Each structure stands twice: as structure tokens, then as C-alpha cells.
Amino acid sequence: MGEVVKRAYKYRFYPSPEQAELLGRTFGCVRVVYNRALEARTRAWVVDRQRSTYVQSSAWLTEWKRTDELAFLNEVSSVPLQQTLRHLQAGFVAFWDKRSRYPRFKSKRKSRASAEFTRSAFRWRDGRLTLAKMTSPLDIVWSRPLPEGVEPSTVTVSRDPAGRWFVSLLVEDPAVGPLPPVTGEVGVDAGITSLLTLSRPIPGVSDERGKVANPRFGQADRRKLARAQRDLARKQKGSANRAKARLRVARIHARIADRRRDHLHKLTTRLVRETQTVVIGDLSVRNMLRNRRLARVISDAAWSEFRRMLEYKAAWYGREVIPVDRWYPSSKTCSACGLVNTTLALNDRVWTCPGCQTGHDRDINAARNILAAGLAER
């Protein structure tokens, strides 16, 4: 029997004024501790060329709590403060391993407001969650049930820019495991006109040609967002009306992000359930976003999020995801004879192979080539 998968279940909740005030202070303390520790570790490296550790930063936290300047850190649970030091340590490890850039400071207005509580900092009884320093449980909207008989090992509380409160419960989900094997592989070509093009049609996922429509959620609310942003720009900085206008903008962004995320979750789940192997192109989305003409539609398509969801769900359910080299000319290669058409332009959506005279839809041809290349690299 394989290892039990840890899975996060996210719910919205409505805090009381006292709970909201305590959590707001906790978010602020978490940010202060993170920034102080990052500053101290950076100084230690620049001045003494020494790599600081989590143990050292934890000792610094103890000293900070004893000072008059930072005595307010004692007013919140110590667990989220220790957890943010662990997250900082993970960030440094990723930087040292050249997997990410150097850790950055948290901004009061731009960074995600969140706090992580481990098992010693919350009480879970009869499906009711009470965090440390609180006298009453959180009013959680249980939009879906937790797996039967499980208890959370970690709780993360967050507040998004739209002012919504969320709690994420990390549990061991025994229901997640390899699905029965199915026959069939599919190549996936990401695009803009169509969000995805598959090497073969899959009922419930694509149309009869193998194409998945691009819903363009950002474009659907583009006018409403632009109007709200213009209204925000006219408000005086620091005023109550500006705060209300900022909230309206944040809510539109949240609506777009929620709809996009929901669509990608449904799409990736169906794709993983219906196929055994998925071959995708390894796109450099960060470089593609430098194209000012296409940056907006590329961001709206959320290709990176699609791949992230696809890969972790494939790992959950015993499926295989194979990335193909980003420099492979999948669009210009004839899937019938293998000839590379170097004269093919970006706006040529339909073309005929000069070698074998086979007619191609550009995206479908690319998806078939991606599938063949991925299976050849196995």
C-alpha cells in the first residue's frame, strides 16, 4: 500500500470582530518576524559571509520578544511566528539549490496575509476548529465534507485582497490513490485561440476536433475592471472612498481568479481521469510574458497553473505527465512525413506540407507531434 497523500481542503469562514482583530495582529506579527529574520540573515552573510540557520533565527525571535520595541509579538500565538521562520529557511534552501531567487521582504499591502498553525496551536473537536488565543471556534462554511475520520495536521488562515477569510486544513486523505489504468495517451498543445488542443478528441474534455475552448475570464470582465480601476485612480490616497474603491477592484480580480481556477480544476481532473499519459510542451511562460501584445491573454490562459495542477493530480492518481523540450518545432513539423516547414509563419493556422501534401490544422498537428516526441523520450 502506498503512502497516504496529504491534501489541503480550503473553506471560507466569517470571523467575529474579536477573531478578525486577533488574526489581523497575527498577520502583522508574522510579516514583522519574517522581514526581521530576512534582514538579519542577509546582514550576517554580507558582513561575515556566514549562512544563518533556522535555529539561529529562532534564537533571535526569543531575543526580540524580550525587547520593548517588539514586546507585542507575545500577544499572538508563537506557532505562526516559528512557522514563518521555517518558511524563510525553505526559501533560502531553494535559493542555495538554485531553484528560486533570493527571498524577498513581505509587503504590508501586496503580500499574502496568512498565518500557519500546527497541531499544538489549535483545537479540533467534533468538526469545530478553535485557534490558539481564541475562546470560540471559527464560523466555517463547510462547502464540502472532509474525508471521514481525519483530523487536520496543519491549519492555514488567510485573508485575500477582497477581504474574504479562508482556512485551509491539511489532512491525510485515504481516498486519494492510483486510479484503475486506462488505455490511451494524449498530446497537449497550449494556445490562445483555443486554450488547449489535444492530439485526439476526448469526450467531456474537448470538442470533436480535440480543441478546448478558451473561456477568457479576464476579457469577460475587462470593461468592468477598467471602470473600477479608473474610479480608484480618481480617489484621494488615504481616504475612506479610496479604500472602498480598492475593495471593488479586488473583488473583480477575485471573481476572475475564482472562475479561472474552477475551470482549470475541472479540466485537469477530467484529463487525468480519462488518459494514462499526458504529453505537454515545456513552455517558458515567463519569457513569453515579455511580449507586450500577448502578455494579457497569456496571463489569462494561466498555462503555468494548468501544468501545476496537471502534474500534482497525475502524481496523486498514478498517471504520467511527460514534458517535451520547448525548442522542439512541433508546429512546423509535419506529423505525417516529419518534414520541417521553416517558412511557416505564426499567423498560418492551416497549412499544407510541401513534402507529402498533407493538410494540417496548425494546433492539432502540433499536439500530435508533441505526443510522438514525448513517447519517444520515455
For residue 46, what is its C-alpha cell?
A: 554580507
**Side chain identity at 1, as an amino acid letter?**
M
207 phi and psi angles, rounded to 5 deg: -85, -170
96: number of Cβ within 10 Å: 11
This prediction has a pTM of 0.89
Cα dist from 195 to 205, 271, 363, whole Å: 12, 14, 11
Q: How big is the chain, counted in residues?
A: 378
**What pLDDT does residue 97 have?**
94
- The conformational region for residue 87 under phi > 0 = left, psi -120 to 50 = alpha, else beta, is alpha
pLDDT at position 1, please? 46
DSSP state of 153: S
What backbone torsions phi and psi does residue 202 show, to the nearest 5 degrees?
Answer: -125, 115
Q: Using one digit for the tens of pLDDT, what is the confidence trace for 23-59?
A: 999 999 999 999 999 999 999 988 888 889 999 999 9
Please name the helix (run of DSSP H) or strand (run of DSSP E) that holds residue 304, with its range, or none.
helix 303-317
Residue 2: predicted pLDDT: 57
Q: What is the pLDDT of residue 10?
A: 97
Question: What stretches in the chain show pLDDT beneath 50?
Answer: 1
130-134, long-range: CB < 8 A, 24+ apart: 131/77, 131/155, 131/157, 132/77, 132/79, 133/22, 133/76, 133/77, 134/18, 134/19, 134/22
The amino acid at residue 169 is L
